[in-house]
Structure 1
Amino acid sequence: MTSEEPNRSLMASAPASSSRTKEDATSDTWKPQGYRFWLILASLCLIVFIATLDGSIIIIALPLISRELKASGNYIWIANSFQLAQTVIQPLCAQLCNIYGRRNPMLVSIAIFALGSGLAGGATTTSMMIAGRTVQGLGSGSILMLVELVICDLVPLRQRGTYLGIVMSGGAFGAVLGPVVGGALATTNWRWIFYMNLPICAVIFPAIAWLLRVQYTKEPTWARALTRIDWIGSFIFISSSCAIMLGLVFGGSEYPWSSWRVILPLVLGFFGGIGFFFYEGSTFCKEPSVPPRIFTNRTSVSGFYIIFISSVTLQWVCLFWPIYFQGVRWTSPLRSGINFIPFQVFLIVIAVVAGVLLTKYGLYRPLHFIGFSLGMLGTGLNTTLSRQTSTPVWVVYQAIYASGQALLTPTILPAILASLSEADVAAATGVYSFLRSFGWVWGLTIPGVIFDSRFDHSSSHISDAEIRHTLQNGGAYEAAGGEYVKSIPPVVQDQVVSTYVDALKIVWIVAIALNATGMLMVLVEKHIPLRQELDTTFGLDTKGEKGEVNTELARGDVDGTESK
């Protein structure tokens, strides 16, 4: 398929669900119906909140946890095992949602997340902690993908931006509170960083079980359902993704980038990814987890690149604003987290505004173009940051970049889905979620390499050889915000600060270039009207509910619902 229009044959081949009421069917504007919709939305906001909170909460407490568990050099896996598991599971989870519906995978994901939280909270060894964090990551990644998929099932394409903005704002709020809550719990009992998820999951689990009853075509037997899973493709995908992420994690931290232990997994992962896409398009793969057809038009491909590069730059900026506060202004880690709150506030508020604008006007390309323009402007202004920069100035800088990112956050997925069939919503959402998480990993790795390299190059200006040696080879990043930089003799302090400023300037300059590539891809996008009707096989099952019209599949009967 080369046309930008959705594949109508696919839409015709999939049973369409008339999940709108009779009143909706005669109305030009879709409106949410019934109390269940709003309760589901509230539940999704809460589950996204704890899933994202758990990804950021450990940052402050990690040193304490590592010391108590005697993690030594394995501390890096306590954080990265979560990110790795969260990333690789999403395309497979998307396919499972097409086979088993939405509610059952969501319940399993919540249960897995709770299990991982219990294992991590009760960990007595480093291995047990890493296992718990890995299980948590599997649950978190599935939850984040499923939340967006459920929104796509409940809301027409034209209105999705508004509700995605609302739900993702809950995630941004969790990211804001993560370091603060983590710091507070670390001073009392770090195990409650993980244990606190258990009562929240205990509330959400029955709520989702009760509320999220949706239609789906049920296979006659579990054996038949299992044969539909893309086992070989999923194995190749997960293996190659893990290999790439292992190389990124090891590079520059455990081993030099030139080490075979870094190069080999990166190369294997790269060729594994190529092999995966060949397999998915071959006759051997009967039901691909990532159908090649979702990459056959310029709008979806542009959207996939935009979510990847925007995730890279978002993590990039979120990683190095604290380094500016700690390395240049010499604030504490906790204070730097507080200073970063304006960024998160603007991200939350403008994301909701962006969703409303998309719903009102149905235009995503202008929002994407303005978003990357503000991204370029914000990172460009960051190159002027110094120790003397006043508080109002750096708050404005944060607001500019955060507003640009917020215009992108709720509007990229609707743009991707505009040119695809509703039958491809789950697969496209799985790829979208994977690229977002994968972008976060690159957003942690690339700027770190650039910063360390530039700092080492500029550190020749530091007159004290011992201090220079301590801060080289990644030492500057680790020393930021610690007591070491504050103990540097006054005569050398200005030299160290200027070296931090110089290294950060290069980091911001490269971020400008990355935002520019995103802007170029916006020019490749094509405007496609966003569908205003809700046409899905996974609509809410309202059969028998008082005050609501029974929903039926277009084929005349319900093949399966999750309420049965």
Structure 2
Amino acid sequence: MTTVEEPTATAQTAMSRRSVLQALSGLMMGMFVAILAGTVVSNALPTIISDLGGSQSVYTWVVTAELLAMTVTVPLWGKLADLVSQKLLVQSSLGLFVVGSLASGLAQDTTMLIAARVVQGIGAGGLTALVQIVMAAMIPPRELGRYAGIFGAVFAVGTVAGPLIGGVLVDTSWLGWRWCFFIGVPFSLLAIVLLQKTLKLQQVKRTGVRIDWLGALLITAGVSTLLIWVTLAGTSYDWVSGTSAVLVGLGVVLLAAAVWVESRVAEPVVPLTIFRNRTVTLTVVASALVGIALFGGTVFLSQYFQVSLGYSPTAAGMLSLPMIFGLLVSSTVAGQLITRTGTWKRYLVAGAALMTLGFGLLATIDAQTSIVLIGAYMVVLGSGVGMLMQNLVLAAQNDVPAAQLGSATSVLSFFRSLGGTVGVSVLGAVLAARVTSDLGALGGPDGGGHAAAPDTTQLPPEVAGLVRDAYGDATAELFLIATPLAALALVVVLFIKEKTLKTTSGAQRLEEERAAG
């Protein structure tokens, strides 16, 4: 049985706003490099794979390896945050990220690059889970909205700056693609130093702590198996095939074994009792749907801008600014209003409704749609996501015991990432099939399947027109599929019961729970 000693200091006092902002400087820098790692290579990948002599399947795995490692390790980082020093964990995840980044930048072949991306992904998974956990430990739920704008700004800058920085680095002869990985290293090291100086979390000494490594292994293996299936299905093998059946069956068996183990150990990685909480269960479902719709729908916008509308990679990155602007403004305004009034459900409902409307509007686009109109649609979508995504975490954190803050937060992050991975894979397969079908029916080149998106500037005008139309129609179909998923998220949000936001931080609540227990 795990025993817990009394806190090493007197009762935790609320941190001043200045102290919170100082601590957030290191946390947000860490979050920035995690986001940057996922976006900075997008425009550089063709050059990287060509330079290392890789194939199209390797192209996929350079992206997937990091995403898989990040997704499957989030629950373990979250559980560790409930057991050991959160400050040490954040610094450890940053350290792993530095090692993975350096190894990626020094890679001499694709095998080394993929292995290094796995290490980078494990570090990014820690940052994804731990930043929000540490914020909840420092800041009362009632005050969290005040800082939502900072989180949104970091998310926006990392998302937009990544592809632009990657494109510039690749095009700069004296730097090159390796700096796409090196560039995050100084930021990570600076974040470690800042956290050491500014992050002052009270430590609770624990003895006899036992981590459920078997459960962690089974969860990781089961989820990885299913993610590999959805990532490669439709390209390496058919969705309905013997390989699919084997992978799905193995994934289900591993996860069933994980549930059995988690229900019997003293310190489970994912406490199953947490799902008895209605708010947690509903926010988890909503987060997964948001992940599927958001990442599955928007990841293909850059391709649409380049192939259907003929913009350069750098310009395509700039054209995503309207959505980021909507996200940043809505998250900031909603956060301030939540802090001022203490009510939050109306913003979840409004956000889900706007997200559904945004996807519905984007489902009408084609290769001739005005860029101004598309920008307006993206503002609507971004505004909805800004009000919804972060406040789902707030609702769950407000309704669980402080001792389960880490598990609850990481479960939400895990299912959002899982939904995003599934969405990208499935909708990517839908897009490839639609493009292949349309171009095949018109007698044009096969732009789908295993091939990368074609460069329309290198095609004859009449063929380029066919390709632009095919990709425009296929992208609209993806948003049409995403629309009912967003609507389902709206229905789920309506069933979340609004509860008064707590006015004490996670650290203070934990002390109260320890004293009462």
TM superposition score normalised by structure 1: 0.84
Deviates more, 1:492-501 or 1:41-50: 492-501
Letter in 1 for 2:472: V
**Hey, what does 1:507 align to over in structure 2?**
478
CA deviation vs aligned residue, 1:427-485 (integer Å, no higher than 9, x gap):
101111111221221121121122223333433541xx3x34x224354xx225x2xx2
- 1:19 paired to 2:8: no
Contact 2:5 2:204 in 1 (8 A): no
Looking at structure 1, the residues matched to 354 and 212 of structure 2 have their Cα atoms a distance apart, in angstroms, of: 41
Contact 1:45 1:171 in 2 (8 A): no
**Hey, what does 1:303 align to over in structure 2?**
283
**Hey, what does 1:277 align to over in structure 2?**
259
Does 1 or 2 have the higher relative contact order (CA < 8 Å, sep 6+)? 1
Aligned residue for 2:123, secondary structure, equals helix
Contact 2:235 2:449 in 1 (8 A): no
Aligned residue runs from structure 1 range 446-465, under 5 A: 446-459=426-439, 461-462=441-442, 465=443
Letter in 2 for 1:522: V
Looking at structure 1, the residues matched to 112 and 467 of structure 2 have their Cα atoms a distance apart, in angstroms, of: 40
- 1:343 paired to 2:323: yes
**Hey, what does 1:78 align to over in structure 2?**
62
Aligned residue runs from structure 1 range 307-386, under 5 A: 307-386=287-366
CA drift of 1:535 comes to: 5.0
**Hey, what does 2:189 align to over in structure 1?**
202
Contact 1:355 1:410 in 2 (8 A): no
**Hey, what does 2:51 align to over in structure 1?**
68
Indicate which of 248, 252, 259 corresponds to 2:234: 252
Letter in 2 for 1:356: Q
CA drift of 1:17 comes to: 7.8
Aligned residue runs from structure 1 range 91-240, under 5 A: 91-188=75-172, 189-220=176-207, 224-225=208-209, 228-240=210-222
Looking at structure 2, the residues matched to 392 and 123 of structure 1 have their Cα atoms a distance apart, in angstroms, of: 42
CA drift of 1:129 comes to: 1.1
Letter in 1 for 2:453: A
Structure with higher Rg: it is 1
Indicate which of 376, 391, 396 corresponds to 1:416: 396
Letter in 2 for 1:265: L
Contact 1:52 1:172 in 2 (8 A): no
CA deviation vs aligned residue, 1:64-99 (integer Å, no higher than 9, x gap):
111111122323221111111111111111121222
CA drift of 1:353 comes to: 1.7
CA deviation vs aligned residue, 1:233-284 (integer Å, no higher than 9, x gap):
11111110111111122212333323433332233223322332232223xx
Aligned residue for 2:146, secondary structure, equals helix
| Aligned sequence identity (%) | 29
Looking at structure 2, the residues matched to 265 and 13 of structure 1 have their Cα atoms a distance apart, in angstroms, of: 45
Looking at structure 2, the residues matched to 471 and 502 of structure 1 have their Cα atoms a distance apart, in angstroms, of: 13
Contact 1:161 1:410 in 2 (8 A): no
Residues 490, 60 of structure 1: alpha-carbon distance in 2 compared, 3 angstrom cutoff:
closer
Looking at structure 2, the residues matched to 291 and 447 of structure 1 have their Cα atoms a distance apart, in angstroms, of: 32
Contact 2:82 2:406 in 1 (8 A): yes
Looking at structure 2, the residues matched to 146 and 554 of structure 1 have their Cα atoms a distance apart, in angstroms, of: 21
Looking at structure 2, the residues matched to 530 and 363 of structure 1 have their Cα atoms a distance apart, in angstroms, of: 8
Contact 1:358 1:411 in 2 (8 A): no
**Hey, what does 1:433 align to over in structure 2?**
413
Runs of 5+ consecutive residues of structure 2 not aligned to the other structure: none
Contact 1:19 1:534 in 2 (8 A): no
Looking at structure 1, the residues matched to 6 and 365 of structure 2 have their Cα atoms a distance apart, in angstroms, of: 54
Looking at structure 2, the residues matched to 326 and 247 of structure 1 have their Cα atoms a distance apart, in angstroms, of: 29
Aligned residue for 2:299, secondary structure, equals helix
Contact 1:51 1:171 in 2 (8 A): no
CA deviation vs aligned residue, 1:90-118 (integer Å, no higher than 9, x gap):
11111212221211111111111111111
Looking at structure 1, the residues matched to 496 and 106 of structure 2 have their Cα atoms a distance apart, in angstroms, of: 49
- 1:53 paired to 2:36: yes
Aligned residue for 2:42, secondary structure, equals helix
Indicate which of 246, 264, 267 corresponds to 1:287: 267
Letter in 2 for 1:127: T
Contact 2:138 2:201 in 1 (8 A): no
Letter in 2 for 1:216: Q
Size of the alignment, in residue pairs?
507
**Hey, what does 2:453 align to over in structure 1?**
479
CA drift of 1:198 comes to: 2.1
Contact 1:369 1:519 in 2 (8 A): yes
**Hey, what does 2:488 align to over in structure 1?**
517
Looking at structure 2, the residues matched to 328 and 306 of structure 1 have their Cα atoms a distance apart, in angstroms, of: 32
Residues 165, 290 of structure 1: alpha-carbon distance in 2 compared, 3 angstrom cutoff:
farther
Letter in 1 for 2:410: G
Contact 1:310 1:515 in 2 (8 A): yes
Contact 1:350 1:403 in 2 (8 A): yes
Looking at structure 2, the residues matched to 535 and 503 of structure 1 have their Cα atoms a distance apart, in angstroms, of: 46
Looking at structure 2, the residues matched to 535 and 148 of structure 1 have their Cα atoms a distance apart, in angstroms, of: 11
Deviates more, 1:443-452 or 1:513-522: 443-452
Looking at structure 2, the residues matched to 486 and 445 of structure 1 have their Cα atoms a distance apart, in angstroms, of: 27
Question: Considering only aligned residues, what root-mean-square deviation do their CA atoms show, in Å?
Answer: 2.4
Contact 1:36 1:211 in 2 (8 A): yes
Aligned residue for 1:271, secondary structure, equals helix
Contact 2:306 2:316 in 1 (8 A): yes
TM superposition score normalised by structure 2: 0.92
